[in-house]
Amino acid sequence: GGGGAVELVAARVPVLADHPLVRGPRFKKLKIGAGHRLDVKASGVFVLGIGHGNKLLTDLHNCHLTKVYTVGGLFGKATDDFSDTGNLVEKTTFDHITREKLERILAVIQGTNQKALLTYSNIDMKTQEAYELAVKGLIRPMGKSPPIITAVRCLQFALPEFQLEIHCLHETQQYLRKMVHEIGLELKSSAVCTRVRRTRDGVFTVDDALPRTQWNLQSIQEAIRNCQLKVETELEKTLG
């Protein structure tokens, strides 16, 4: 035996058994569920749930939160599927349309939908409870109902184009396109929908959403972590 103490130094060497090409991909099956539908011609926030998040998706659906869309429209044309890519049905004049007239129509849409909000919420109108909820503006249908618009306003108006911000419940994007068409009819002209973009789905806004360039594991994990608290508070507030 020679001189001083023998120090054991751990050296790490790569093991072939750990290599992904030997072991296989880390995630073979991922349970991914989709939230509220977004059709092919629309864009915007689309909520997905991964693994255990699918249960949260069902809970979020039962919260019946409003979604916000930015809808772009064009006066002067009417097509068969209400969007600018459909077959032309009719062309009309539109120079008599003013922002004031448009806002009047929007006020009426909001008004009739407010009534629908109260009617489909299944609350007995004769109770004091119904009055208090109506004052706070917390009445909304907590079950199945036809599409309801809770708020509309005109963001931009430059003939022939215009842009609306729509807050709605239980809607489909085709319903919003049909609404643009009907606004055109009410104004004694015609309108088609050029774009539908969802800017908010319940608690998820455009800022939380990941663009195409960030569809990788690290960003997804970070996004889930950031939204966790928001989702939990909302679920607790609504479902108790």
Query: What amino acid is encoded at 97 in this protein?
Result: I
Q: Which two tokens stand for residue 161?
A: 């184009």
Residue pair 176/71 in contact (Cβ under 8 Å)? The answer is yes
184 vs 179: CA distance, rounded Å: 9
Backbone angles phi, psi at 197, to 5 degrees: -130, 125
Based on the shown chain and the rule CB under 8 A, indicate whether residue 146 belongs to the binding site for another protein. Answer: no
Is there a cis peptide before residue 211, judged by omega within 30 degrees of 0?
no
Tell me, by CB under 8 A, how many residues bind another protein: 36
x-or-dash pattern for another protein, window 148-167, by CB under 8 A? ---x-x-------------x
Nearest distance from residue 88's CB to another protein, in Å?
5
Contact region for another protein (CB under 8 A) — 2-10, 59-67, 96-104, 224-232? Answer: 96-104
146 vs 141: CA distance, rounded Å: 10
x-or-dash pattern for another protein, window 172-211, by CB under 8 A? --------------xxxx----------------------
Buried b (16+ CB within 10 A) or exposed e, 106-130: beebbeebbebbbebbebeeeeeee
Based on the shown chain and the rule CB under 8 A, indicate whether residue 92 belongs to the binding site for another protein. Answer: yes
The active-site residue, picked from 39, 59, 81, 208, is 39
For another protein, the binding residues (CB under 8 A) are 76-77, 88, 90-93, 96, 101, 104-105, 107-108, 110-112, 114-115, 125-128, 130-132, 134-137, 151, 153, 167, 186-189
Residues with a known catalytic role = 39
